[in-house]
Amino acid sequence: MEVDDENKGNDNVDESLYSRQLYVIDHESMKKMQQSTVLIAGMNGLGVEIAKNTILAGVKSVTIFDPTVVQINDLASNFYATPQAVGKQTRAQSSIEQLKSLNPYVNVECITNNASLQQLIESKSYDVIVLVNYPLKEVVNYNKLAHALNLRFISCDCCGVFGQIFVDFGQEFECTDLTGEPPMQGMVVSVTKEKEGVVTVHEDTRHGMVDGDFVEFKEIEGMTQLNELKPRPIKVLSAFTFSIGDTTAFDDYTGQGLFFQVKQGAKLSFLPLSELLGMSQKDLMNAKQPKIIQTDFAKNAYEQHLFYLALQEYRESNNGKYPLPTNKGEENEKVYAFFTKLCAQNELECKEEATKAKYSELARASSAVISPMCAFLGGIVGQEVLKACSHKFTPLQQLLYFDAFECLPVGVADSEQFAAQNCRYDDNLAVFGKDIQEQVLKAKLFLVGAGAIGCEMLKNWALMGVACDARKQGSIVVTDMDRIERSNLNRQFLFRETDIGSAKSTAAAKAARAMNADIHIVSHENRVGAESEHIYNFDFWSALNAVCTALDNVQARLYVDAQCVYYNKPLLESGTLGTKGNTQIVVPKMTESYGSTRDPEERGVPICTLKNFPNKIEHTIQWARDDFEGEFAQTIIDINKYIERGDAFLKEIANKTEEVSTLQKIRAGLQTYDMDADGQRPLNFQQCVQWARNKFEHDFTHRIKQLLYNFPHDAVTTEGAKFWSPPKRAPNVIEFDAKDALHLAYITAAANLRAFVYGLKGSAEAEEITALLQKCTVKQFEVDPNKKIAANDKEKEEEKESMEMDDDEIEKLRESLKGENRKQFIGMTLSAIEFEKDDDSNFHMDFITCSANLRARNYRIEEKSKHDIKKIAGKIIPAIATTTALVTGLISLEFYKLVQSEKKKIEDYRSCYVNLALPLLTMSEPVAAGTTSVNKKGDEQWQYTLWDVIEPFNKSNGREKTVQDLLSYFEHEWASDLEIITYGNAIVYAFYMADNVLEARRSMKLLDLVQQVCGKVDDNARVLCFEVSATKQDSGEDLMLPTVSVYI
């Protein structure tokens, strides 16, 4: 897509491109970013990663500066450097064209003249300065300059598996939103009159605030003074109460009302690096406001700080270079000597042997720049750049250190393992050595998903050399069913405008090959599930070294996790939600699986709340979404089925109530439009508008009038309490007004959707719609004194039972439908509408937005923008490139541990939770797999985990084994009787079956029995998996046993 220069950096926000990011960074913050200029000096792998994340996010301009000529080892981390650029182009020149292609709205420039970095900073042409891999002394000097000019400054360094970040946004930096969390709001049920007035919120939802948050009130009855107060701070008393100060002078609270959290910004002050370097441990690690962010509580952040200073001291003494990876230890010793000197000066005690081993190894690997570390650090730094531009989220204050020491190889005596081979993997070799790199080259991995995480993962693997061996022994299989949409381009960085409509897996594989031509990658478009087990079968899973999920739903993750447990394969799991991310490493025989712990299921909204008593915008959106599905999808599908199959379709309907509703809708949908006779089949667009106008009247006027007839504003319950009390909100009737933009937009959307269903030509012209509305006749409201409206879900169920028609009435409906002469419609197919949230021309989101906001207006609920409603209606997961890059970097580091799994313990692995908005990073050891103990024959105890199965027979002869063989195995080995054997959902053998059945089945081969009961077993199946119920022969005690696997 081409973008004119005058449209670059303007105030307009392209929602179709930035839609997922705008749910993380709001429109106002996005506009600030679009006016911001960024300079990135240093274009090694980390610099390119930062530039990529910044450009994708949509700042005004990014200027890159690095006169260093590309070397062969740059190809291990700079994904835009090519072999052809080695020795010929600078790092900046080799990256510029690819960076420009990431986002047409961002001006990307490369400094090619002889300007110095000092001149660039002094020009004040850039709002944010980022320095990558600069020596500490230079960083200090450039930071002093930037601080004096009040420019926002970030520096960072990637040294093998050690990284450092420094942030300075000046003496006074205004942050408009510290957390990015949506402001809380809720219903008030009481307010006390006292010196510290206590507000109690409805038990339906916790208030979710902390001490010092500010609130304001609306619609409070009785104590109306609260409605006029400016936002005031609170003190939290419990999950449902908080105090707001003196309320003794106010009137008594009598009911109703809402509270709203009011987000407060903050002015933050930053110190230049020179001052931080002079601080003591006590000042830097101050509990109230530490200057060093803790990334792993198993490590000493101040110790990491001193190691960084020691490494920089060595670098200064060695002409700006880090220790060679092949040094015999003397260079590492120098770094460690600097480190111990700094420890002594700062009174830091360190355990000699363990500390020396760790920091000597970190020093040995420090000259390298590797892709996983660049992805991790680049995600953090990229987000800090966006904070500097948007003033949204809490900046990093001010230092961060990270090391992945646990990734490094153990016990490598030969330093030549780390020697360069004049190849693209030289930096990987410098860190991990030749043997590990060879295993990486031969790895066989399965990547499930090629979206944002999948793209970043493939980039990392291409640079690491995964599946890139010359003999093609390694392989990557990537599968994804989805096609590329425009909204993907903002974070799925392997895709371009020309890829829209292409399969994600195919385009991602092609892009990965462009980064490393040696990669052996195969793309599929299959859903991974039961339906594809003939493709992803025993042989496929057995050949894998590991599986990586890049999925956006829990059910798919659980399936892949179960397969990994079944086949004993490691799982690399990660996910993101806006600025939040998590990683989990699942190691066979060692850790719990992804499915071992699950979040509680989300509570559903009661039907009565949706139908009659909404109190949140989420309720009105769900109501609108359900209405859309009913009117334009399900009803139309039913009509088509009836046209095609007639009475045969009606006989399949589950119950009488459902049948009556379906019959009525089919009849109305097929009858020519007649308002008096309930016919709703339009013959022209005028009748579509007529239908939409009457639907408006029915949904937002008539049904509200009926509700208020049943439950007037002053209604009381049988206990004498107000009926319309929290969480219920008494509604108001809406009178249609064609001059109201929301009313007209609803009619336009509804009429055009109706026209689409019936194959008629619609119109979006306001003048034409208004003219057609003037010709419409509207049904007058008639109250139904006999209509019952359920006040809760229990009453709703009772109402359903009482509403069931008898068979005679249903038969009358059937006969009336036959009167429509179904044969005249045969061959006609109405167009059922499948909801598509990202097409702004199809009226789908227009209808849901208008419908949700009109219903919100009925109930005095705050209306929302189309953008906000789309997130909820479309169940959109907020996403941003920075978090995605970060989690894939961490997962890639865990992969290096899996390659060395025989030498790694559970404490060497790390799972992570991150929230870049705060910023918060917490590393933790994975949870060990739980064990179960059972006694075998002779009371021999056996402990097993979820990773274990019972294999009663040799793998070579299981096909011939009978049920009796299995019974005998448990009798002899476990001194137990098998009482029930199940395969899948079928019971194939059970003690309560007839004696003749049991006798016949005991003699059957297990495979034959399964096929007799369950049908033919797939030819590709290699194992039969049984669940068994067994009891001890001596005590009758039930045994808790794992799956029994029989190889066939």
Residue 728: both structure tokens together: 């219920």
Euclidean distance between CA atoms 729 and 609, whole angstroms:
10
Cα 784 to Cα 58, 705, 710, 847, distances in angstroms: 56, 10, 9, 28
Whats the size of the chain, residue-wise?
1048
* 110 noted as active-site residue: no
Type and span of the H or E element at 580: strand 580-586
- Let me know: does 152 contact 173? Beta carbons within 8 Å: yes
CA atoms within 13 A on the CB side of 876: 24
Q: Other CB atoms closer than 10 Å to residue 791's CB: what's the count?
A: 17
Report the chain's C-alpha Rg in angstroms. 34
* Contact indicator for 873, 848 with CB cutoff of 8 Å: yes
Q: Cα angle at 325 between 319 and 326, to 5 degrees?
A: 105
Residue 246 CA to residue 268 CA, distance in Å, equals: 31
CA atoms within 13 A on the CB side of 978: 25
With beta carbons less than 8 A apart as the criterion, state whether 302 and 281 touch: yes
| Residue among 537, 528, 541 at smallest CA distance from 569 | 541
Q: Give per-residue burial for 102-136: e unless 16+ CB within 10 Å, then b.
A: bbbbbbbbbbeeeeebeebbeeeebbbbbbbbbeb
Give the amino acid at 976. S
Tokens of 1032: 């001890």
Spot the catalytic one: 110, 468, 608, 850. 608
255: left (phi over 0), alpha (psi -120 to 50) or beta: left
Single-letter amino acid code for the residue at 365: A
**Cβ-based neighbour number of residue 246 at 10 Å:** 12
Evaluated on CA atoms 698, 699, 702, 706, the torsion sign reads: positive
Helix (H) or strand (E) holding 63: strand 61-65
What DSSP line would sit under 624-671, residue for residue? HHHHHHIIIIIHHHHHHHHHHHTHHHHTT-SSHHHHHHHHHHHHHHHS
Do the beta carbons of residue 406 and residue 909 sit within 8 Å?
Answer: yes
Contact assessment for residue 603 and residue 849, using Cβ atoms and an 8 Å cutoff:
no
20: left (phi > 0), else alpha (psi -120 to 50), else beta? alpha
Query: DSSP class of residue 138?
Result: H
What dihedral angle (degrees, nearest 10) is formed by the CA atoms of 817, 819, 825, 829?
-10
- Give whole-number Cα distances, 359 to 25, 326, 414, in Å: 39, 16, 18
77 closest CA partner among 373, 429, 437: 373
Alpha-carbon span 13 to 17, nearest angstrom: 9
How many Cβ atoms are within 10 Å of 11's Cβ, its own excluded? Answer: 9
* H-helix segments, 682-825: 685-697, 703-710, 741-757, 766-773, 793-803, 807-818
Is-contact 942 933, C-beta < 8 A? Answer: yes
Query: Dmax over Cα atoms in the chain, in whole Å?
Result: 98
Task: Tell me which residues are annotated as active site.
Answer: 608
